[in-house]
Amino acid sequence: MPHPLVTQLRFTRSEFRRAIDGISEEDARKRVMPMNCVSWTVGHLAWQEQRYFLYYPGGQYLLPEIQERFRNGAPASTPKLAAMWEAWESITRATDRWLDAVTVETLMSRVVRDGAPTDLFFGNLLQRVIYHYWYHTGENMAVRKILGHTGLGQFVGDIDGKAPYTQG
pLDDT in tens, 99-112: 999 999 999 999 99
Determine phi and psi for 156, rounding to 5 degrees.
-55, 140
Q: Superfamily for 4-153? A: dinb family like domain (1.20.120.450)
pLDDT in tens, 39-84: 999 999 999 999 999 999 999 999 999 999 999 999 999 999 999 9
pTM, rounded to two decimals: 0.93
Work out the number of other CB atoms within 10 angstroms of the CB of residue 119.
7
The predicted structure's pLDDT at residue 155 = 79
- Taking 90 as the threshold, does the pLDDT of residue 154 lie above it? no
